[in-house]
Chains A and B, each alone.
Chain A
Amino acid sequence: MIIQDKIREAVRSLLREKRVDLVIAHEMGTLPLRATPCFATEPGDAERIVWDPSCSVNLAAFLQNRKGKVGLVAKSCEARAALVMAAEHQFPRENLVILSAPCQGVVDVKKVQRRFGGREILAAKIEGDKIIFKGKDFQESLPLTQFLCDSCLECRHPNPVLNPSRDVLVEEGSPVAPTQADAAKIIELEKKTPDERWSYFVDQFKDCIGCNACREVCPICYCNECFADQTAPRWVGKSGDASDVLVFHLVRTLHMAGRCVDCGACSRACPMNIDVRMLTKKMEKDARELFAADPGMKEGEAEALATFSEKDPQEFIM
């Protein structure tokens, strides 16, 4: 609660002093545990801003094609995504003020749905490290950690690294402990043979309807014309064939190499409960291990896959 108040105060100042034209943040949504993006232009709008585990959108996506000076109330992953966009000249860094604080993590509503077997949750209140769920004829208090997104449980950078001369860091003194180990699921995946992995992913993506939600919620997927939509030549067919479905996901993942900040928005957005992050997480791990890629952590740093060093590993070429 206290962080939320400090953020609101910081937003109020920014808007009052007209240091930005607009602040993008989360406000309360219409469903339990779901916040929704809000666009604050007046100091009074700051009242609506929330900062809690219901803030599940990656707001950096709203920097695409935007003009003017913008304040972004960002979790660490959103801040990193914004810095990747700035490094790639998608949004001028000098026009961006990031307001951030150490992040406790975001609720994965799919885990909630799974836990309650599809029974509707009418209200949910986060109190400290517990969530109190209320349904039509039940009430339960459960640990918050049970429902955090995998991307949050496996987060390596829950504490934002900001530029003190530009940004606003709230609650400097209470960092969150990052994760060190790689996810068990990824270790399992790495043990499979290429054929096994192919079968695994064909099965995982069998229900993909090609809605492109994973792409659109990702701030790093900002291309005005995605390769998947090009018609001359048509790289990705629309017949629903497994090869077309997988080409889209595999190539998109490759395009994310060294750029994905592992926020998990793709998996949260997928309506078919596909863990899209299995691909991006593996890509993030490979880029980190092979090229020391750590996107968005150092302002202005050239990207791992956009730079060549003689020391780059080459064992996969020879």
Chain B
Amino acid sequence: MKNPYIPDLATIGRIITENEAEDIKTFELSLNGSELAYTPGQFAMLSVFGVGECPIGIASSPTQLDTLQFTVKKAGVVTAALHECEEGATIGVRGPYGNGWPIRDLENRNVVMIGGGFAFTTLRSLAQYVLHSSNRDRYRDITIIYGARSPGELIYKRDLEAWSQRGDVALTVTVDKGDSGWNGREGYVPTITREVAPSAEDATALVCGPPIMIKFTIPVLRELGFSPQDILLSLEMRMKCGIGKCGRCNVGHMYVCLDGPVFSVAQLEELPKEY
């Protein structure tokens, strides 16, 4: 039986700098001889050998057969080391871990994706997935609301552009504060969500963003009629093993790496508020 702590090796291909501050980069990886069969919302433990491992949400969609992407924000020791890596470097990948977004339960429902800043990464994976031609007709209305602090901080600009050209997804992009070149919407994500007012009927809302954004978006969704079972969040915790054994990432009796990272607000209301 394979040792679950030994990563597969992967080579870094293209590196895309996503934002103006240059602290968010998307890494395209090609696994050296192994495969990663994942669903949107899952994460993997990325290793920089000699530095350590950290959990990163998978940013590509399994429908993108020729690419495996991770978007990484430079925050701590390992992410800083990743940012120093160049094309051709070898890193490690362990995964996929976590429960992922409930793509089966979302079928035949209206899907509302609300993302803020860097945390949009696994929602982007889901968006690519549901919008893919082989999947699109299994989902009803798709609404995406995405915001960042400023136009330079918006990530996945190519995807945002592509989605805005489509007729089968309602996309709203906002920034907290625009600049001289910006003629899109301005406003915090919770405020814009209230303005867009997606219908709660047969709908599930998936919210991913900094804690403050989530804190103010959930009441807006409740006002719009979303029940706690139909609001889903993706939690982040410090992780080491990724497989529910090192005891570190629990919220109450649930491990974020194993029972999450996707939890409904209803589930979180049953758990202690320590996240």
Q: A: which residues have CB within 8 A of B? A: 231-232
Contacts and interface: CB of A to CB of B under 8 A. Distances in A.
Interface in B79-109: 80
The 6 A-B pairs with the shortest beta carbon distances in the complex, nearest first, are: A232-B77, A231-B77, A231-B52, A232-B80, A231-B76, A232-B76
B129 to A, nearest CB: 35
A226 B99 CA distance: 36
Interface in B39-82: 52, 76-77, 80
A232 B48 CA distance: 14
Interface residues of B, number: 4
Contacts of B52: 231
6 contacts: A231-B52, A231-B76, A231-B77, A232-B76, A232-B77, A232-B80
A232 B77 CA distance: 6
A230 B80 CA distance: 15
Contacts of A232: 76-77, 80
A230 B121 CA distance: 29
Contacts of A231: 52, 76-77
Counting chain A CB atoms within 10 Å of each CB, the highest count among B52, B76, B77, B80 belongs to B77
Nearest to A234: B77
A232 B75 CA distance: 12
A3 to B, nearest CB: 44
Nearest to B80: A232
B175 to A, nearest CB: 32
A183 B82 CA distance: 53
A231 B75 CA distance: 13
Contacts of B80: 232
A232 B76 CA distance: 9
Nearest to A233: B77
A231 B76 CA distance: 9
A231 B77 CA distance: 7
A232 B51 CA distance: 10
A232 B50 CA distance: 12
Contacts of B77: 231-232
B245 to A, nearest CB: 17
B140 to A, nearest CB: 47
A123 to B, nearest CB: 38
Contacts of B76: 231-232
Nearest to A230: B77
Nearest to B52: A231
A225 to B, nearest CB: 14
B199 to A, nearest CB: 47
